Amino acid sequence: MIRIKITGTILILFSILLFIFMSYSFIAPNGIAFEIVRVILWIYTILFSIFVGWIGLILLRSKEPLPVEQLKKEIEQEVERIRREAIEAAMKSGREDNEK
């Protein structure tokens, strides 16, 4: 779980740094021929940084996986509940058949 949080944080920081560096290169002096390329790269970088930041947020918000013991206990409880419901339904069905 810690690896997921670290990965999410790194992706968000990478996204922010990418945006800052590309913004700086947008105002840095260069020839006019490179202006179009810079604008296109700036737009691409903005979209990419939003995407990477979005993935980072998803990773940061992810829940910690449950331990195996807890999963086994939940499955056993669910199986027991389904068993009880099936027995109750069979008993109810048997009563209805006997009443007829």
The 10s digit of each residue's pLDDT in 45-79 is 787 878 888 887 887 777 777 788 888 999 999 99
> Are 45 and 18 within one domain?
yes
- Residue 52 C-beta-side C-alpha neighbours within 13 Å: 18
Dist CA 78 CA 95 (whole Å) = 26
Spell out the residues 6+ positions from residue 16 whose beta carbon is closer than 8 angstroms to its own.
Answer: 49, 53
Task: Identify which of 79, 57, 69 has the alpha carbon closest to the alpha carbon of residue 7.
Answer: 57
Decide: helix, strand or coil at residue 61.
Answer: helix
Q: Look at the chain and report how many structural domains it folds into.
A: 2
**Is residue 32 over pLDDT 60?**
no
The pLDDT value recorded for residue 79 is 93
Q: Are residues 26 and 75 in the same domain?
A: no
Distance CA 86, CA 71 (A): 22
Show the domain range for 83: 66-100
